[in-house]
Amino acid sequence: MKNLILFLLFSIAVSCLIGLAAFQSSSKNNEQTGPEQQWAIHDMNRPLPPVVDPGPADPPLKPPSDATILFDGKDLSQWSDSKGEPTKWKVENGYLEVVAKAGSIRTKKELGDCQLHIEWATPSVVVGEGQARGNSGVFLMDTYEIQVLDSYNNKTYADGSAAALYGQYPPLVNACRPPGEWQTYDIIFHRPHFDQDGNVTKPARMTVLHNGVLVHDNVELTGPTAHKARPPYKAHPDKLPLSLQDHGNPVRYRNIWIREL
């Protein structure tokens, strides 16, 4: 009986060691195959997200009672250009439209953790292809971009397609409607946290629904948005403006509101 007990204890110990080794190996492999290691930024060989039909566009929905309205379709009193001056973007028929070379715009209100709702439409007349077609962007804290692009039958690099966390993560699926139709982003954003020395202690995280379809599920951002590389985090204030990008295309926006979390 004593020998049998010793044999069983020995077998259990060996099994535990084998399991631990397998877990460590798996963890190491997962660390080495993250998006920043597996794919170069804007890698054209990165698989494109599968296409799904999000259904027809809905009319603008009334914001929640506790929301802060950033654009109500009437004026840009809540916005300025990057220098703090009045913006030259156009407002008409309940939407605002990018004016090429007018520069990006930003909210006068500064934001951190928030729920953001924003609706956008690319031009109905298609001009250009790839990144030159209906390009703009929504920047949380003026730093972390959700790409706006006409990705309807328009091939480009996966991490630069519509609803991509630009340069980092493609959307799980391509839920784009045809050009000219209204589309929605519903975004849950949690800002990064930094210690007193400027080191990041908690990376930014984001959940995004594109036309009601989940395209990012509480993903951890690798750092600020950039075009040619993935830079590390750099300490910044707890609250910064929301900004919309002028990329030279007449993209339209409407029904913009936030709830601070």
Q: What is the mean pLDDT of residues 58-74?
A: 92
Q: How sure is the predictor about 16, in pLDDT bands with cuts at 50, 70 and 90?
A: very low
Average pLDDT, the chain: 89
Q: What is the mean pLDDT of residues 249-256?
A: 98
* pLDDT over 60 at 256, yes or no: yes
* pLDDT over 80 at 18, yes or no: no
What pLDDT, on the 0 to 100 scale, is given for residue 20?
44
222: amino acid identity, one letter: T
Poorest-pLDDT segment among 15-24, 37-46, 60-69, 98-107? 15-24
The CA distance from 212 to 218, in Å, is: 15
Q: How sure is the predictor about 24, in pLDDT bands with cuts at 50, 70 and 90?
A: very low
Going by C-alpha positions, the residue among 122, 240, 236, 231 that lies closest to residue 181 is 122
What pLDDT, on the 0 to 100 scale, is given for residue 28?
40
Burial label for 130, CB within 10 Å (0-12, 13-18, 19+), is middle
Going by C-alpha positions, the residue among 146, 172, 167, 143 that lies closest to residue 157 is 167
What pLDDT, on the 0 to 100 scale, is given for residue 8?
44
* pLDDT over 70 at 36, yes or no: no
Query: What does the domain layout of the chain look like in residue ranges?
Result: 49-260
What pLDDT, on the 0 to 100 scale, is given for residue 61?
81
Q: pTM to 2 decimals?
A: 0.84
- In 22-135, DSSP assigns E strands to 68-71, 79-81, 90-92, 95-97, 105-111, 114-121
Q: 212-227: per-residue pLDDT in tens?
A: 999 999 999 999 999 8
Distance in angstroms between the alpha carbons of the first and the last residue of the chain:
62
Percent of the chain with pLDDT over 90: 80
Q: 79-111: per-residue pLDDT in tens?
A: 999 999 999 999 999 999 999 999 999 999 999
Give 3-state DSSP helix, strand, coil % of the chain, rounded to 5.
15, 30, 50
- H or E segment to which residue 6 belongs: helix 2-32
Q: How sure is the predictor about 31, in pLDDT bands with cuts at 50, 70 and 90?
A: very low
Q: 4-14: per-residue pLDDT in tens?
A: 444 444 454 54
Q: 171-207: per-residue pLDDT in tens?
A: 999 999 999 999 999 999 999 999 999 999 999 999 9
Q: What is the mean pLDDT of residues 1-23?
A: 46
Poorest-pLDDT segment among 23-32, 178-187, 240-249? 23-32
* pLDDT over 50 at 26, yes or no: no
Q: So what's the architecture of 49-260 in CATH?
A: Sandwich (2.60)
